[in-house]
Amino acid sequence: MRPLQPVGNTTRILLGISFFVLFFAAWAVATLGGYVPKIFLADPITMVKDGWLLLTKFGFAHDIAITIWRVVGGFVLAAIVAVPLGILMGAYKPIEAFFEPFVSFARYLPASAFVPLLILWAGIGEKQKLAVIFVGSVFQIVLMVAVAVGQTRRDLVEAAYTLGSGDGGVVRRVMIPMNAPEIAEILRLVLGWAWTYVIVAEFIGSSAGIGHMIIDSQALMATGQIIFGIIVIGIIGLVSDFAFKLVNRWLFPWRLA
């Protein structure tokens, strides 16, 4: 191993798998060996059995689908608003000066703090869940996109002006194409944060979803079900992360150059 020395894809996959193997082995030793009481932490075998029961008898697949829909819906709404605004803030300094103080202020406000207000405004239905994800995601995306667009190479902008492009053309043909891969990467990162917001939203006033199942399991002290729900979230997040990377590589092949 040397600093910044890359590793092959096969080695990377094997190292990643080895961590999970060691993690589950340590978990099994701690629980099955009696070092940790099962009431506080279920063992892997109990977790798998509880998860199977959830999927086959208690309709947990429906809860998973509901949660995925909420995440995608709230995140897409946030991206539709935040990406254009972030591009405008990065490209035009007066717009940045107008919005940046509020956006910087709002992005530090935890989305969970808005849950009581959003329940009052939108009830406990789907609108409230989508609103929590929207509030938690939109300000992060706006500021990160604005920073990325604002760092566009000046020589490319000047070259576009020299070739006769107008202000709008510079934004459309230089700033957006150059920063599109970075914007896609920003969306991938914020999508991971959206999962934390949806679980918080489902903890309160929800009749379906992974968060709802976790709260019900906590009342029953069913730690196996809780752990299974957490692992399902991690698996879905991992799959969506890899899918996002593959789509980004397909859409923006020049980023690899």
Q: How do residues 108-137 score in pLDDT, each as one tens digit?
A: 888 778 877 888 887 777 888 888 889 889
* pLDDT value of residue 83: 94
Residue 254's pLDDT band, with cuts at 50, 70 and 90, is low
* pLDDT value of residue 59: 86
Cα–Cα nearest to 218, from 196, 194, 202? 202
Indicate whether 199 pLDDT > 60: yes
Residues 147-159 have a mean pLDDT of 83
102 Cα distance to chain centroid? 23
Report the alpha-carbon distance of residue 245 to residue 224 in Å, rounded.
32
- The token pair that represents 222 in the structure block: 């069913």
Report the alpha-carbon distance of residue 102 to residue 146 in Å, rounded.
14
List Cβ neighbours of 133 (8 Å cut-off, separation of 6 or more).
70, 71, 73, 74, 75, 78, 111, 194, 197, 198, 201
- Is residue 63 a contact partner of residue 186, using CB atoms and an 8 Å limit? no
* pLDDT value of residue 75: 92
Indicate whether 63 pLDDT > 70: yes
Fold held by 42-250: MetI-like fold (1.10.3720)
Report the alpha-carbon distance of residue 210 to residue 202 in Å, rounded.
7
- Is residue 208 a contact partner of residue 62, using CB atoms and an 8 Å limit? yes
199 Cα distance to chain centroid? 12
The dihedral through the CA atoms of 102, 103, 105, 111 has a sign that is positive
How does the average pLDDT of the chain come out, rounded?
85
